Amino acid sequence: MANRPTFYILDAYSLIFQVFHAIPEMTSPSGGPTNASFGIFRDLLNLARDRKPDYLAAAFDGAGPVFRSDIFADYKANRAAMPDNLVPQIAVIRSIFEGFNVPVLVMPGMEADDVIATLARRGEERGLDVFICTSDKDARQLISDHVKILNLRKNTIMDEEALEKDWGIRPSQVVDFLSLTGDTVDNVPGIPGIGPVLASGYLKQFGDLDTLLANPDQVKGPKKQQAIREHADLARRARTLVALRDDLELELDWEALKASPPNVAALRTICIDSGFHRFIAELSESTGPETPETPRAEWVAQYSTVDTPEAFRDFLEELRKQERFCIDTETTSLNPLLSSLVGIAVSWKSGEGYYIPLRAPIGFRILDPQLVLDGLRPILADPKVEKIGQNLKYDMLAFNRAGVAIEGPITDTMILSYLLESGERNHSLDQLSDRLLGHTMIPISALIGKGKNQLRMDQIDVPRIAEYAGEDADATWRIYEILAPRVREEGLWELYSDLERPLISILAAMEEIGVKVDVPRLEQLSGEFAVRLARMEEEIHHLAGRPFNINSVPQLRQILFEELKLPKLQKTPGGELSTATEVLEELASKHPLPALLVQHRQLTKLKGTYLDALPLLVHPEDGRIHASFNQGVAATGRLSSSDPNLQNIPVRTEEGRQIRQAFVAEGPDKKLLTADYSQIELRVLAHFSGDPTLQRAFAADHDIHRSVAAKIYGVSEDQVDDTMRRVAKTVNFGVIYGLSPFGLAGRLGIKQAEAARYIDAYFQEYQGVDQFITRTLESAQTAGRVETILGRRRPIAGIKATTGRNRNLAERLAVNTVIQGSAADLIKRAMILVDRRLREAKLKARMILQIHDELLFESPVDELPALAALVRDEMTGALALSVPLRVDLAVGANWLDVETPDF
């Protein structure tokens, strides 16, 4: 039999809510929420690529009251209002449906479910195989030989066989099944006490609802008999509410429902506006060539290979004439500290570039690396010549490894883009070229391939790598010509030149130095953790009453909810019972097993992420770990680290702190010195808010958490106990960022009313903070952005003109950016000042790590007093705030065992 054409019907709001709750908060470059629109875009892209529908439609609920509300006034009465962070995404999602050319069907007064039922019936009658994309269990009544339900996220099909396996019934029994159990999602009550297992059993015994209701005496158990007699009308009403109408008078144009290629131009615009840059490349791969209405910029370029001494001499003569040029390196590894130079690309004019090969396969001409480096050395060090690059820190490290320093003025296009569009998550060369130049770069995979058979760059033919590298340098030059003027016009050049530019060299030096790691200590801890985990697993099995696979979610569900009968608190977006950590933490008060599972998970993560992974990252030449520090990632201006991410090592648990013990000073004649800003974000808050009570507390060097506890509890500071201080600390760091009474109650394990009293008491005592938040939000709403203390900007969209304590995502981001971003400005400024003083004093001490508000130094023991004085002086004077800055110093042989010095 020939394959039938396929018809995919999308239950729009079911999919929207599913991805909204499944995907963590995301923001667009302008600060608006995007998690749901991201999920819908991804689903439609996957559908187009993997399923290639013949017919396609999406159904939305129609406006106005629905007929089911006339039958039962409380129908869907328990549905909460649409979440604030979803509301602004609906318009974007509709545009995404438009961009993918998905016909949208709506019928006033009717729910999407009924539209879907009608479409499914008429599609099947037309000879189509129908796939309903929904998570709504009501749709199971529509299953037939040619109608199935597709879970887009899991890529699973619910057909008659799967329905029988899940509920033990036939599609024709689904309505009766739901009439018995009820539907909590739609607030449709069934017969009390009848769950899925009983409902399935009754339908197997009686065949249908009417037969069951007519013969309650044949049901086992007097209580169940009575329930059926007393609530038979509930079940009959439920049947009228649950049954979907498949007879709507929809005027269908089947030609219009035929799937058509998407509007790539419109979708590209959505991707750029929303920050979905990963989808841009997939669009053409998934949907075929671009449509005629998506013109791409013509790329005219000529790249020359400099592969003879004579050509190199002529090249140097021209290069020396340039006031600025772009430089790019090709290397044998993505890790610049393990790589060798393969070639160097240079450009100083749009459409032109030069490639100098230093390593290549046999048979290709290359230049002597020493000849090239000696020729470039004075130019790269010239303080009058501007060196331009994309992620220039990488090239600096690659040249440093080859014995050449890049000095003088440097301009990094990645950082320029980051300053202009801090909300963008991707400032890569490929993305900047696509966004700013309308040009798709040659992908690296086109040269070296993918997977196990991937080649090194020095194994690539010179003409191919010359084209690739020349394009990199040329594109970077063109991007520089666009971004540098914009940065100046936006008033951001000083922020770049005084803060971000000098930081590039400092971070490169920190990465090059690295930090010594005690690998035997890590291995010892890993072994100890393994023993503890094995003991925990035995105890978990004992508490569960039998062995099971702890990492198997289905088996864990069986233990927790079926065998131990623990409360079923949450469901996943797919409708399964959740075993997430927050659920286990809430269940811990009911049974000791969930608490032990949480501990097991935490210990497993620490072991895998750090104890077992860190030794693999130790550099083979110096025994140190060289983490990367990223300037262009966090929208607030904070630095982030990767490979490894040292900023996520937990310090609140003993196990997490033990990991810090493995970061050590190199040798007995050296120590580590830590310098940590004390409560820096609260001090920044005191500065911006001007709150007199807060400022007085910092001026008197009070314990700010104790001071706040005294205010909100109405007691003297000496009467504040540890519990009060913990509450105040949570309030301090949570409420100013929009933590609601619900959220505060969850964190503290108290009632919501009590949490609300704490919040009200806080703002009553610190009215300046309340006024600062209001000013910040009003300014953000007017200007569409917020600024940090040094003028760093972040676009913010979605500020509400409402009062109250509950803050949506945009409002939380606005306040967080001002406070946290200003603290980031401060620590960056301090790093620059400290680095300058270290060089001026000619100390051998070196700055090796930055973790948010903390700096870590490695120093000869005899330099520690001078280093401590220097660091304290520069950090406390980095910026002039209206409250004093305090820096806590500590010294030790490792990062954990540090003590306050007596000098």
**Euclidean distance between CA atoms 852 and 647, whole angstroms:** 7
Q: Please, which pLDDT band fits residue 290 given cuts at 50, 70 and 90?
A: very low
Contact 394, 414 (CB under 8 A): no
What's the confidence (pLDDT) of residue 448? 92
Q: Is 614 helix (H, G, I), strand (E, B) or coil?
A: helix
pLDDT above 80 for 527 = yes
Q: What percent of the chain has pLDDT over 90?
A: 52
Contact 854, 520 (CB under 8 A): no
What's the confidence (pLDDT) of residue 635? 86
Contacts of 600 (CB under 8 A, 6+ apart): 533, 536, 537, 540, 550
| Higher-scoring residue by pLDDT: 717, 480 | 480
pLDDT above 90 for 425 = no
Q: Please, which pLDDT band fits residue 451 given cuts at 50, 70 and 90?
A: confident
CATH superfamily of 302-514: Ribonuclease H-like superfamily/Ribonuclease H (3.30.420.10)
> Mean pLDDT across the stretch 122-131?
91
> Mean pLDDT across the stretch 138-153?
90
Q: Which of 149-163, 219-233, 275-289, 460-474 has the highest mean pLDDT?
A: 460-474
Q: Please, which pLDDT band fits residue 737 given cuts at 50, 70 and 90?
A: confident
Supply 15's token pair: 């999919």
What's the confidence (pLDDT) of residue 33? 87
What's the confidence (pLDDT) of residue 329? 97
Q: Please, which pLDDT band fits residue 217 given cuts at 50, 70 and 90?
A: confident
Q: Please, which pLDDT band fits residue 288 given cuts at 50, 70 and 90?
A: very low
Class of domain 6-164: alpha beta
Q: Is 696 helix (H, G, I), strand (E, B) or coil?
A: helix
Contacts of 490 (CB under 8 A, 6+ apart): 420, 793
DSSP secondary structure, 281-343, as one string: HHHHHHH-SPPTTS-------EEEE--SHHHHHHHHHHHTT-SEEEEEEEESSSSTTS--EEE
pLDDT above 70 for 580 = yes
**Euclidean distance between CA atoms 124 and 122, whole angstroms:** 5
**Euclidean distance between CA atoms 417 and 435, whole angstroms:** 11
**Euclidean distance between CA atoms 613 and 40, whole angstroms:** 35
Q: Is 387 helix (H, G, I), strand (E, B) or coil?
A: strand
What's the confidence (pLDDT) of residue 294? 42
Q: Are strands 785-787 and 793-795 parallel, antiparallel or unpaired?
A: antiparallel
**Digit-coded pLDDT (tens) for 175-210:** 888 888 877 666 677 888 888 888 888 888 888 888
**Euclidean distance between CA atoms 353 and 572, whole angstroms:** 53
**Euclidean distance between CA atoms 868 and 860, whole angstroms:** 12
Report the amino acid identity of residue 179.
S
> Mean pLDDT across the stretch 452-478?
94
pLDDT above 80 for 643 = yes
343, 349, 431, 445: which is closest to 391 by C-alpha?
431
What's the confidence (pLDDT) of residue 80? 62
Question: What is the Cα gyration radius of the chain?
Answer: 32
> Mean pLDDT across the stretch 293-320?
86
What does the domain layout of the chain look like in residue ranges? 6-164, 302-514
The dihedral of CA 879, 882, 884, 887: what is its sign?
A: negative
**What are the backbone dihedrals phi and psi of residue 439, each rounded to the nearest 5 degrees, phi first?**
-125, 130
Q: Please, which pLDDT band fits residue 291 given cuts at 50, 70 and 90?
A: very low
Q: Are strands 854-860 and 104-105 parallel, antiparallel or unpaired?
A: unpaired
Task: Count Cα atoms within 13 angstroms, Cβ side, for 861.
Answer: 7
H/E segment holding residue 151: strand 147-151
pLDDT above 50 for 293 = no
pLDDT above 80 for 401 = yes
**Euclidean distance between CA atoms 627 and 438, whole angstroms:** 34
pLDDT above 90 for 859 = yes
Q: Which of 258-267, 850-859, 862-871 has the lowest mean pLDDT?
A: 258-267
Task: Count Cα atoms within 13 angstroms, Cβ side, for 369.
Answer: 14
Q: Which of 152-156, 372-376, 411-415, 685-689 has the lowest mean pLDDT?
A: 152-156
**What are the backbone dihedrals phi and psi of residue 299, each rounded to the nearest 5 degrees, phi first?**
-110, 105
Please count the residues of the chain. Answer: 903
Contact 473, 329 (CB under 8 A): no
623, 570, 563: which is closest to 591 by C-alpha?
563
**Euclidean distance between CA atoms 416 and 374, whole angstroms:** 30
H/E/C letters for each residue in 537-600?
A: HHHHHHHHCCCCCCCCHHHHHHHHHHHCCCCCCCECCCCCECCCHHHHHHHCCCCHHHHHHHHH
pLDDT above 90 for 219 = no
pTM for the model stands at 0.81
> Mean pLDDT across the stretch 217-240?
83
> Mean pLDDT across the stretch 70-87?
71
What's the confidence (pLDDT) of residue 228? 83
Q: Which of 7-16, 195-204, 655-664, 822-831 has the lowest mean pLDDT?
A: 195-204
Residue 148: beta bridge partners?
Answer: 131
pLDDT above 90 for 510 = yes
**644: cis peptide before it, omega within 30°?**
yes
**Mean pLDDT computed over every residue of the chain:** 89
